[in-house]
Structures are given as structure tokens and as C-alpha cells.
Amino acid sequence: MTSQLSLLYTTFPHEEEALKVTKELLERRLIACANILGPIKSLYFWEGKLEESQEVAALFKTTSDKAQELIHVLQELHSYDTPAILEIPVGKGALPFCEWAHKEVR
């Protein structure tokens, strides 16, 4: 394996968008797999106003080498003006899973 794995976290306004984007990322082979979690309650300030909304969270598993490309593509596909997209480097993991993920991401 040439690189570590990374986990990318983001949220979507609804499950339909999360599924659509996830399928596109899988087709492009930018991720090995994803977990779509939700609904979740999100609280944040936006344009000076306290917001509370229901969202769907997604965790994308990819290689560290592809993380920046994945961030760029997520920004293009996402419906939010300023989506929260965070990379979490994976220090260690189960070797069989890590090997499988590396084979799936191209």
C-alpha cells in the first residue's frame, strides 16, 4: 500500500442527495465505501443567525492520496454553498479492510 486511509465527513440536507453523491463517488472510484447516518440535528450560526436543522451525515472511506480530489469533487456536487467537508487521517486499521479499500479506490 502506498498511502494511508482517510475518512471524510460531510453532511447533506437529505438522504436523497447523500445517496446520489455517494453513488457518483463510487462510480468515479474516489471512495471504497460510505456510511450514511441520520437523521442528525445540526446547530450552527449562518449569516449571523442561529440555525437548527435536520441533516444526514456521511462518512467516506478513501486513500490519503485521493482525499484532496475527493474534497474538490464533493464541493462541486454538493448543494450547500459552504459544505462542511473534513478529512480525518486514519492512523491504523484492520489490515484486510485497508487492503480492500486500497484496491477499490483508483
What tens digit of pLDDT does each residue of 37-77 get? 999 999 999 999 999 999 999 999 999 999 999 999 999 99
* Beta-ladder partners of 59: 9, 35
pLDDT at 84: 96
Q: Which range marks the domain in which residue 62 is found? A: 5-104
pTM over 0.95: no
Q: Tell whether the model's pLDDT for residue 1 goes beyond 60.
A: no
Number of structural domains found in the chain: 1
Q: Tell whether the model's pLDDT for residue 26 goes beyond 70.
A: yes
Residue 84, CA atoms < 13 Å, CB-side half-sphere:
15
Instruction: Residue 88: give its domain's CATH number.
Output: 3.30.70.120
pLDDT at 72: 98
Per-state percent for the chain, helix, strand, coil, to nearest 5: 35, 40, 25
Q: Is the peptide bond before 83 cis (omega within 30 degrees of 0)?
A: no
pLDDT at 2: 54
